[in-house]
Amino acid sequence: GGTHACALAEELGMRRVLVPLACGVLSALGLALGGVRRDYLRALRGPLTEVDLTAAFAELTRTVQAAVGTADAAALTVERQVDCRYTGQSHELTIVAASACGLTESSGAVSASRVQAGFEAEHMRRYGHVAPDREVEVVAVRMVAALPGRRPRLTAPAADPAAVRGRRSVHLDGSWQEVDVVPRAALGPGDGVRGPAVIEFVEANCLVRSGWTAEVDAVGSLLLTRP
């Protein structure tokens, strides 16, 4: 959380720091709200000009359909990818063959020429050369299916009149000082605290050092600033 935010900012010469409302559990919150992605893979070995990419992707589409169900199929973002290499190479590159919104829209034919062009472009970008006279070999096909996560509307909660402020002895800069201790719930949009003070979140603490001020912004984050 924000325990060392002001001290780190001073070391870096920064004058503004944002401390999110859920600063102590922000990574967990991101995981809970993030999208869901699944990668499906099917081995497919052979020259690019000979393998049936469309049939291989049709099989993967049926696998994805069975896994996600009809309700989520229309909301999926689907990307079809091909792992390929020059024949004789020991490593391959993953090339995007097609992208679509919705599982039904991702069932069209896959162009080998598009994969070839994509492979050569990526090989040039990655290694600085291409070999047009060498055969391109497919190793596997992939389908990446993703569902978007929830995007909540962020608003600052109103101050809780029942939240009790207090004072506490805190060791700062080599000495003990009596400082204000403010529950985060006691602060609503636009409310501020002047340091030195401790702002107590449910899951973390924020130390507002001397010379700093904290103010709640419109989405509930603490904006820490110093002159």
Q: What angle do CA 158, 160, 165 make, to 5 degrees?
A: 130
3-class state of residue 59 by DSSP: helix
The pLDDT tens digits of the residues spanning 15-33 come to 999 999 888 888 888 888 8
* pTM of the shown model: 0.61
Residue where a domain stops, chosen among 115, 147, 179: 147
Span 182-211, pLDDT tens digits: 999 999 999 999 999 999 998 889 999 999
Check whether residue 141 and residue 162 sit in a common domain.
no
Please give the residue range of the domain that contains residue 208.
5-31+154-225
Q: How confident is the model at residue 153 (pLDDT cuts 50, 70, 90)?
A: confident
CB atoms within 10 A of CB 33: 11
What percentage of the chain carries pLDDT values higher than 70? 95
CB-based burial, 62-88: b 16+ in 10 Å, e otherwise: eebbeebeeeebeebbbbbbbbbbbee
Instruction: Identify the burial level of 166 via C-beta atoms within 10 angstroms of its C-beta, where 0-12 means exposed, 13-18 middle and 19 or more buried.
Output: exposed
Pair (189, 205) in one structural domain: yes
- pLDDT score for 104: 67
Give yes or no for residue 70 having a pLDDT over 90: no
Q: Would you state the pLDDT for residue 105?
A: 60
- 124 shares its domain with 175: no
Q: Identify whether residues 13 and 62 lie together within a single domain.
A: no
Boundary of a domain, candidates 102, 117, 147: 147
